[in-house]
Structure 1
C-alpha cells in the first residue's frame, strides 16, 4: 500500500490536529516514527511535549480510548469496529474500545427540517401531519425526530448530519494514509493488519451512512421472519426514505431492564430470552444475515412478549460456504478432532505466518477438554468464545470481519438473554438449533441438491480447464511472452544503496572543494575573498557528513 503525502497536505489542519491529539495522549513515539510530527508547527510541538507526563498514570487501553473519543465521530466508529476484532487487537485495548461513547450535541432542528424538505421535495407540513423539532435521540452520524404521517401513523424520522459524508470521507482518506505509514515504519504493527482493518471499517461506515441500505435490511428481516409472531419488525415507509432520511414505524415497547416491572412479561421471561436467541441463530445460520449490534439498547419487548429489534445499520453477512464451514467446525469440535478443526480454520481464516500444527492441535485439545462434558447450566459461552478467539490470536489466524462480528454479537446476545432471564443459558438454545441444522443437512432432498451443485461445478471445470490450458500455451508460444518475477525485500537494499551513493557524491564534492580552496589559499593570487569562505563551508559540510554517519550507527 503506497503512501500519498499530498493527502496530508490537502487536509493539513486536520492532519496537524490528529498528530497533536496522538502526542497529547502519549503516542508521540508513534507520531515521530511514522513522520507525522512534521505536520505540526514548532510552537505547538514544544507545547505538547509538556503534556506527556500527564498520560503516564493512564493504562494503554485508556489512552487509546481517549484518543479515539477526542478525534471525533469517524474515529469513534472506527474504535467501535476495532472492538469487534479481539483476534487482532490486544484484549486490554478491546475492553476499553467497547466503552466508547458518542457524546455529540444535536444539530439545529431547522437544519434537520431543511434536510428532510430537500430530500423529499416537499415542505415538512406536506410530508407529515406533525413533526417534533426536539430530537428524540442523537448519534455521531445522525439524529432521530418523532413525527406523524398524514394518516395519523406514528413514525420516527432518522436524519443524517449535514456534511457528515464529507467529514467521514476526509477522515477515511487520512486513516488509509496512517495505516500505510504504520505498516511501513512500524513493522511490529503488521500483526494487527492495518490495511484490512481500515478496509473493513470503510465498508461498515459507508453502509451505515446510506439509510436506503438500512431500509432494505429491515425489509429483508421482515421477509425472513414473515409469519413468525415472536419477532416484530418495524414497518418502513419507502416513499419517505432517501440516502440521508429514513422514516419507519415508531415502536413503543419495554427495554430489557424494564420487564421486571411488568408482571405479564416477567412471567414469560424464559420464553422471551429463548426466542431472542433462536431468532438470532436462525437469521445467522439459516438465512446468512444477522443483526450485528444486538446490545440491550437495540431491543424492545412488546406487550404480547414479542421482540422488536432497532437500528439495522450494522448487519453481518455469512455466505453459504462460511455457514457450512462453521457447522463442520462444530461437528469436529464435538468429536474432539483438533486436526480437522485446524483444516477448517485454515479455510476460514487468513494465516499471518506458518502454523505449528502440533502446537495448535495441543492448544485446541486443551480448549475442548476445558469445556467438554460440562453441564449446560455451567457452560459460559461468552468465555468459551473469548478463549476460542485467544487461540486464533496466539496462532496468528486472521478471521473474516463478519465472523468476528458474529462472535461479538453472540457474546452480546448472551448478556441480553441474562438481563431478560437471570437463569438464561444460551447453550440450551444453541445445541438443539445445531442438531436441527444437522438433520436438515442430511435430508435426502438437501443431499441431492448438493450433489447436483457439485456436479455442475465439476462439469464447468471439465469444460473450462482445457480452454484455460490452451490459452496459457498460446501465451507461452508468443514471441513477446514474458514472466513476472517479484523479489521481496529489495526496497531496503535500494534505499541503502541510494543513501550510500549520495554520501559518496557529497564526500567527493566536499573533498574536492576543500582541496581546491586550500590550493587557492596557499597561492599568492588575490582570491582570499573567494577561497576562504568556500574552505570554511566545505569543512562544515564535511563535519556534518561525518556526524550524520556516526548518528546513523552505520560507520
Structure 2
C-alpha cells in the first residue's frame, strides 16, 4: 500500500506533466492513465499557453517544476543528442547550469548559519549574482582574504527534503513493480533505487564532495589530460564548498572551441582516455560528466586539457567487477563471444544452469550486425540496447553497482560524438584496457600485491604456531571436531533429524500400543490405564506416520 503522502506526490507529478501539455507521457504511464481525465477540471489541466511552446521547452519547464531528481534526469538525457531530437537535447542542456537561482538573501542566511560569523570576515569579496545554478546547489564567485579567486557552492534550501520525498516515491514504485510485474524483477528495481538513493544522499554532503575532489586531484596531479581545482578546506562546511576558481571554455560551446583552434579529435579521444584511466587505473571515477561540469583549458590547442568541476557523484568498482568488466570489453572488441558468454555465466549474471553455448550464440546474433559496420559508426548506447535483448532472454539481472558506470560511459560517448562525430570509442579504449590487463599479470604487479598483503601474511605466520598447537592439543584430548559445509548439508541434516524423530515416535507409539493391549489382555485392574496406553500408542503411531518423509 502506497502511503497517502507518496500517492499525492505521484498525482502531483501527473498534474505537472498535464499542465505543460505532456499528455503523451501521462498516457505512457499506465498506472496513472486515469489521472489524465483530471485535465478536464478547470485549473487542474493544461494551460493554453503550454501548447504554444516547443516540446523541448515544455519538457524542460516541467522537469524544473518537479524538482532536483527530475532535473538530474534531464541533464543525463541532454548528453545523448544522438538518441534525442536535437531541439529537445538543446533545451535539456540548459538544465546543466541554468536552473532558476534562489535569492541572494537565502544564500547569505545559509552562509551565516554555516560559519556563524559575518561574510566580511571570511571573504574579501562575495558576489551575490550566482555564476551557475543547478538542481542541487548554486555557485557564487568570491575572493579569499589573501586575494585567491574562489567559487562558493551552496545547497539549495529544502533540497534534502525534496529529494527524500521523491526517492521515497521511487522506493514505493520499485516495490510495486517487483510485486506485480514479474518481467521487471530481473532488473532489480529496489536495489537500483537503493543505489540511486545512496548516491543522491552522498551528493548532499559537500564535505564529501570536497574529499572526492581532493582524491581526484591527487590521481591526476601534473597530468596533461585533466586538471582538478584545489579545495580550500578551511572554508568548507557540510552545506558549503569553497574551491579554486577555474577559467576555461565550457565543453558544450563547440563554436568557441573551434575558434580557439582546439584539436577536436584529440579532445574527444582524451575524454575517453580519462574515463577509462579513472575506472581501471585509479578505480575512482567522476560519475556526473555532463557538459555543465566540464571545461577545456585552451592554452595548448593541440593537446587540450580538461578541467572538471562538481564532484558530488563519484564511484568505484570492487576488484572482481573491475576484472570482469575489462575482460568483457576486450572479449567484445575481439569478437570472442564464447569468452563473453563464459564470463557472464561464471559471474552469476545470468540464470543458474544457463548453457554457455546458448549465451554465446545469442551474443553473436545481436553483435555481428553491429561489428560488421565501421567501428566509428557503432554507438555504445545502441550496443547496450542490443545486449538488453539478450539479458531478457536469459533472465540476466541488472547489476546495480554498475549503473553509474554505464550512465557515465553513455555520457562520455555522447559528449565525444558531439565534439568529434567520427569518434571511435572502441579504438581509443582497447589499447588502454589491453595495457591495464598486461599490467595486472606482470611480475611487478604481482610483487606489488604481495607487498600490500605482506603485513596480513606476516600476522598470520606469527599466529600459525599457536594455531597448530591448539589443534594438536584438542586432537590429543579427543575434542577435535571437523565441520563440513555444503549447500545441501543443512537440508540433509534436517531430513536425518526428522527421520530420527519419526522412527522414535513410531517405536514409542508401537511399544505403548502393545503395552495397552497386554494390560487389557491380562485383565489387570484397574482397566483405565490400559485404555489410556492404547489410545496414546495409537496417537503416536498416527503422528509418526504423518511425519514420514515422502
Partner of 2:106: 111
CA contact (8 A) 1:214 1:312 kept: yes
**DSSP-derived class of the 1:397 partner:** coil
Q: How many residues are paired up?
A: 451
Whose radius of gyration is greater, 1 or 2?
A: 2
Report deviation, 1:433. 1.1
TM-score calculated relative to the size of structure 1: 0.67
**DSSP-derived class of the 2:140 partner:** strand
Output one character per residue of 1:97-121: Cα deviation in whole Å (capped at 9) or x when no partner.
9986748532121111110121122
Partner of 2:150: 155
CA contact (8 A) 1:385 1:407 kept: no
Report deviation, 1:401. 3.3
Aligned counterparts of 1:206 and 1:163: Cα–Cα separation in 2: 13
Q: Which runs of 5+ in 2 are unaligned?
A: 472-480, 499-550
Which of residues 167, 172, 185 in structure 2 aligns to 1:172?
167
**DSSP-derived class of the 1:157 partner:** strand
CA contact (8 A) 2:127 2:141 kept: yes
Report deviation, 1:296. 2.8
Partner of 1:142: 137
CA contact (8 A) 2:205 2:238 kept: yes
Aligned counterparts of 1:190 and 1:404: Cα–Cα separation in 2: 16
Report deviation, 1:278. 1.7
CA contact (8 A) 1:21 1:70 kept: no
Aligned counterparts of 1:276 and 1:390: Cα–Cα separation in 2: 29
Aligned counterparts of 2:274 and 2:170: Cα–Cα separation in 1: 36
Please say if 1:199 is aligned against 2:172. no
Distance 1:16 1:365, change over 3 A: closer
Matches within 5 A, 1:235-384: 235-256=230-251, 258=253, 261=256, 265-266=260-261, 268-302=263-297, 303-304=299-300, 305-334=304-333, 336-346=335-345, 348=347, 350-351=349-350, 355=354, 357-372=356-371, 376-377=375-376, 380-381=379-380, 383-384=382-383
Distance 1:71 1:356, change over 3 A: farther
**DSSP-derived class of the 1:398 partner:** coil
**DSSP-derived class of the 1:404 partner:** helix
Report deviation, 1:389. 4.5
Distance 1:318 1:106, change over 3 A: same
CA contact (8 A) 2:269 2:416 kept: yes
Matches within 5 A, 1:431-470: 431-447=430-446, 469=484
Partner of 1:233: 228
Partner of 1:412: 411
Aligned counterparts of 2:61 and 2:31: Cα–Cα separation in 1: 13
**DSSP-derived class of the 1:413 partner:** helix
Aligned counterparts of 2:375 and 2:8: Cα–Cα separation in 1: 56
Aligned counterparts of 1:338 and 1:431: Cα–Cα separation in 2: 16
Report deviation, 1:404. 3.4
Report deviation, 1:444. 1.6
CA contact (8 A) 1:349 1:400 kept: no
Q: Which runs of 5+ in 1 are unaligned?
A: 483-555
Aligned counterparts of 2:367 and 2:178: Cα–Cα separation in 1: 36
Partner of 2:119: 124
Distance 1:220 1:411, change over 3 A: same
Please say if 1:8 is aligned against 2:8. no
Output one character per residue of 1:406-438: Cα deviation in whole Å (capped at 9) or x when no partner.
233233323333444455432332122122113
RMSD of aligned C-alpha atoms? 4.8
TM-score calculated relative to the size of structure 2: 0.67
**DSSP-derived class of the 2:41 partner:** helix
Distance 1:80 1:417, change over 3 A: closer
Aligned counterparts of 1:114 and 1:178: Cα–Cα separation in 2: 36
Aligned counterparts of 1:381 and 1:474: Cα–Cα separation in 2: 46
Distance 1:137 1:362, change over 3 A: same
Aligned counterparts of 2:264 and 2:33: Cα–Cα separation in 1: 55
Aligned counterparts of 1:422 and 1:97: Cα–Cα separation in 2: 16
